[in-house]
Amino acid sequence: MAEGVNVRFSGELQRFIQERTGATGVYASASEYIRDLVRRDYEREEQRKWLWLRHELKEGLEASESEFESLDTNRLLDEARSRSAERGS
């Protein structure tokens, strides 16, 4: 079950919400309007995170193949096991 959150608005903010809800507004209720605002804010935050990740990966994504080096997974695993064994001793 969803947990409820009660919020009170007064004055100019209350009038602003009333203009957007009910018979004259785009939203059926203040709750619908607030849910939409929160959902849009959430989506903006998710988009910001993806943009950050793309920025962080950009250099690698745009690199030419000559800039990459081949990796031997078996060698990497052996090295990791050796380091782990050394720490365990």
* Number of structural domains in the chain: 1
Measured in whole angstroms, the distance separating CA 71 from the mean position of its chain's CA atoms is 32
- Give yes or no for residue 39 having a pLDDT over 90: yes
Domain ranges, residue 27: 8-63
Mean residue pLDDT of the chain comes to: 92
Write out the two tokens for 49.
């995170």
- Can you say whether residue 9 is alpha, beta or left, with left for phi > 0 and alpha for psi between -120 and 50 degrees? beta
Does some domain include residue 86? Answer: no
**How much is the pTM?**
0.63
Q: Half-sphere exposure (CA, 13 Å, Cβ side) for 8?
A: 2
- Can you say whether residue 49 is alpha, beta or left, with left for phi > 0 and alpha for psi between -120 and 50 degrees? alpha
Measured in whole angstroms, the distance separating CA 83 from the mean position of its chain's CA atoms is 35
Condensed to tens digits (0 to 9), the pLDDT of residues 49-80 reads 999 999 999 999 999 988 888 899 999 999 99
Does some domain include residue 46? Answer: yes
